[in-house]
Structure 1
């Protein structure tokens, strides 16, 4: 007769991470200003080797965005419309106390010189909120200059790239990676969960990502999802 494993309530965000224990649910709820409690996937407990926990919004934001406002702009991530939106609009929808806990993450992006065909260089920029890269999502299907390291969460199951809006409608979503062969296009995940690219002035869904220290406290709550016990950040 198999022995029952006693229930243990988790206490820190680190314990929820997919890379720590796949069976812990890997989801924490965060109360956003306009959207109420929203589920975030706890994807990795050591993002980019910095010892911080990576969170990714489960659903795309209701408000879709363009990579750049004008078609003729190149798909360079730093200071793009998406970069500015995440830093100046999205972050302000999160609770003030949580914003103070979000760390400045070092993210790797393709350098402008590489984008212009001069080399294969990447640079690192620091951001509190950012988009994932093609390498992080689908390293075997990219063929692009590597930006960051593959995330086990998606490498274990490529079907996890498919996402919906909160209402269940399938949606595509932007990655931060430019399409090297098409100057005014960037890489995105289609509504079918496959890699593709789109012109930078297209409106597509956004899944914000950010990092928190692993020792951030979590607690069980029935307030986030009525009738269901889920984890929320203390």
Structure 2
């Protein structure tokens, strides 16, 4: 009798699981069908181009840099600062690799690091003056200096126009890490998007702003294979600048940037 009850219970559980899977499949198909019914509207502003608004439009805008010409930037989020500002991330690493700090003896503290100084000065100088003037001063969260010495798990906020993304923003939730900012849906939906290349298609690693709490002179970076790892602060690794623009910045299609393609540029 007991065996029959166990078999009956197992059958009920199997049937319930199958039913839930079928319901999930039907719901997914229905949601996908409804989404396709929504008429596609040509985006006219950066906000409409953001991944978190509509995934159907490529989520990429081309920005002219003084030395590298037009470069693609991913339009990652439409409310990064909580004020409707749109987060852009350079699709490829910059040509010039950078160290987190010039000397190994320095700690992996982001504020006023070599990377921070490079992005705030030399990188911004490569952008057109008109565009640079429109960049929003973003409030980014970083690990406080006191946390390096195990005194607490404090973070602090600094304001920057150009900056690096954090380990937390990669939608990573490892134990032992102090969270900086919030996970970005762009990476949460597909973690393989952390992988990138240089402009020529060669796979490349890139720095995050997050230190490794296991050692003062080690920071976190994304490897060329797209996996998160550690690197000494004096290593030269790729850089992917991020910055925010107001959501109402206008965009338009252009056929003059990429041969044979229509792409979006800032109006």
Query: Which residue does the alignment assign to 1:28?
Result: 61
Q: How do residues 160-199 of structure 1 correspond to structure 2 at under 5 angstroms?
A: 160-199=193-232
Out of 13, 18, 22, the residue aligned to residue 46 of structure 2 is 13
Cα distance in 2 for partners of 1:177, 1:76 equals 8
Q: Deviations over 1:15-53 (max 9, x none)?
A: 000000111110000010000000000000000323200
Q: Which has the higher strand share?
A: 1
Matched-pair contact (CA < 8 Å) for 2:171–2:185: no
What is the CA RMSD across the aligned residues, in angstroms?
A: 1.5
Matched-pair contact (CA < 8 Å) for 1:134–1:142: no
TM-score normalised over the length of structure 2: 0.84
Matched-pair contact (CA < 8 Å) for 1:48–1:148: no
Cα distance in 2 for partners of 1:142, 1:14 equals 34
Q: Which has the higher contact order (CA 8 A, sep 6+)?
A: 1
Query: Which residue does the alignment assign to 1:213?
Result: 246
Q: Which has the higher helix share?
A: 2
Q: How many residues align?
A: 233
Instruction: Give the secondary-structure state (helix, strand or coil) at the position aligned to 2:245.
Output: strand
Q: By how many angstroms is 1:176 displaced? A: 0.2
Matched-pair contact (CA < 8 Å) for 1:18–1:42: yes
Query: Highest CA radius of gyration, 1 or 2?
Result: 2
| Unmatched tracts of structure 2, length 5 or more | 1-35
Query: Which residue does the alignment assign to 1:55?
Result: 88
Q: Deviations over 1:31-88 (max 9, x none)?
A: 1000000000000000032320000000000000000000000000000000000001
Instruction: Give the secondary-structure state (helix, strand or coil) at the position aligned to 1:114.
Output: helix
| TM-aligned CA distance change 1:142 to 1:35, over 3 Å | farther
| Unmatched tracts of structure 1, length 5 or more | none
Cα distance in 2 for partners of 1:34, 1:40 equals 16
